[in-house]
Structure 1
Amino acid sequence: MMTETVTISLDAVIAMSGRSRRTWWRRIEEGSISKLPADARGRTLLVFGEIRPALGMALTDEEVAMIARADAGDALAQAEAGAMFALRAQKMPGAGSHCAAFYWLEQAAAQGSADAMHWLGMLYAAGRGESGDSQHLALMWIAQAAAQGHAIARQQVHSLTGRVVQQAV
């Protein structure tokens, strides 16, 4: 797949690059980045190949295709992209932040992805979220994943609730 033909929304670029909306609009106005016509959802679109160097990480063509599907609204691709960015941020802290992981995982979770909910719970439990309420958010997301049938999340909730019941008795 040629990244020159793949489009990506400005919001996704901001999340993945860590650069501000203002920075990207300045690049568009300077002509270093091409702005394409808005998509059906009214989102500003850019050419992936033009923004790829600014991401600061190597992406395979398969990963670019997954990100394009995620940006188009595919919940499975969003969850996969979120997991990919979370793992990269853990392995190479300087190579990217968890911001991109949260961006994609939150979109997938909003569509009911139990895997994304579990990933969000685990990231919050590890203190990766920006909220000061990370532990409560971790429990919330893991419980939601369990309610959706996620096997690992169900076991985690069972482990927690079993302890609570034993302590209450």
Structure 2
Amino acid sequence: MRFEYFAAPDDETAALTIDGGEIDGAVASHVVDPASVLGQLERLLGGPRGDDGLRSAQLVAESPDGARLLIRLSNHLVTLFGMVRPTTLDDVVKHWSLSRRFRRAEPEDLHAFAAGLHELCKGPGKRVYCRATADESELAAVMAPAATVPASAPDATDANPDPVEPKPLPRRR
């Protein structure tokens, strides 16, 4: 997935980016998933401990082909991260980078992303959004035709379904 974070005044303006065109001033990442990784950042900044991250982001729009999602970051997260002082941003990123989700990310890339997101969160009167775009390989896997299931195969409600039935996509963790 490719995640592009940007600021916009409202949901309607942000939804205009669902077509996949360039977004001015966007901060991009392949590892900072708004529904889970930003939840970790919110907890680090003093957000709710029992939250699984899904309160940190809300779906606003989806492209007709399902290749792109538009997600609004919570006002709480934006406010918390926008209040981080530049002198403590390094410490925040250092602690955030301890997450197992970042084990393949370069520390410099995470710091550059965090600095860019921090600037977006400091902007007055705007909301922060993320456009998540599926990679071509992810789209190909989803769009591939399902295997033909014989008429005598058990249906999805059976306790032991046929292994050729397509499985749902796993939730990113």
Q: State the TM-score, normalizing by the size of structure 1.
A: 0.21
Task: Give the number of the structure with larger relative contact order, counting CA–CA contacts within 8 Å between residues 6 or more apart.
Answer: 2
User: Hey, which of these two has a bigger chunk of helix by percent?
Assistant: 1
User: Hey, which of these two has a bigger chunk of strand by percent?
Assistant: 2
Q: State the TM-score, normalizing by the size of structure 2.
A: 0.21
